[in-house]
Amino acid sequence: MTTPRIVILASGSGSITQAIIDAQQKGELKVEIVCVISDQSGAKVLDRALSADIPSKVIAMTVNRADWDQQMIAALTDLQPDLVVSAGFMRILSPECVSKFKIVNSHPALLPLFPGAHAVRDALAAGATTTGTTIHWVDSGVDTGQIIAQEAVEITGADTEESLHERIKIIERRLYVATLQQLLNESVRSHD
């Protein structure tokens, strides 16, 4: 049985990526991380990949969006992942890309509530008492793909956007790793 291949897409500090790397190195997540791709050349996630001896690649956004889309599709086609893991990747992938690859994403809210880039701020502004994290399939919409897993986080009166986001991230990292292993197990069984 071959080890499932994943490619991680990330734009920032890489805390979710680090959780995936840690789980893989401990043997809790049985995957080969074939590459980390970022759209930001200065992203800390690239340092995390380097420290773990994982190849990385920067595909910076170009003036011509269609060129960037094609660069992303070409890179993923070359890497041949079983699963693409969007882990804090702050770019919307083209419909062509999401139809060609199995892509999963995490979002810091209980979708379909509070989609988009400001989910934590939006939940606080709406006066929500509960939010959380969602792991979902990526489709051609923004945070509209089929939900795979969710976990709630209570909002307290003392929460700021930063404190709430940090509490969500703790749950998100654990849930993402567990969900990835479940998805990969199901994928392996469906190919047997």
Q: From CA 85, how far away is CA 62, in angstroms rounded? A: 22
Active site residues: 107
Paired tokens of 145: 């793909």
Residue 133: partners with Cβ closer than 8 Å, 6 or more residues away:
106, 107, 108, 109, 110, 150, 151, 153, 168, 171, 172, 175
- Select from 84, 76, 86, 97 the least CA-distant residue to 16: 86
Q: What is each CA distance from 65 to 56, 60, 68, 173, in whole angstroms?
A: 21, 10, 5, 30
DSSP for 37-105 reads EES-TT-HHHHHHHHTT--EEE----SSHHHHHHHHHHHHHHH--SEEEESS--SPPPHHHHHHS-EEE
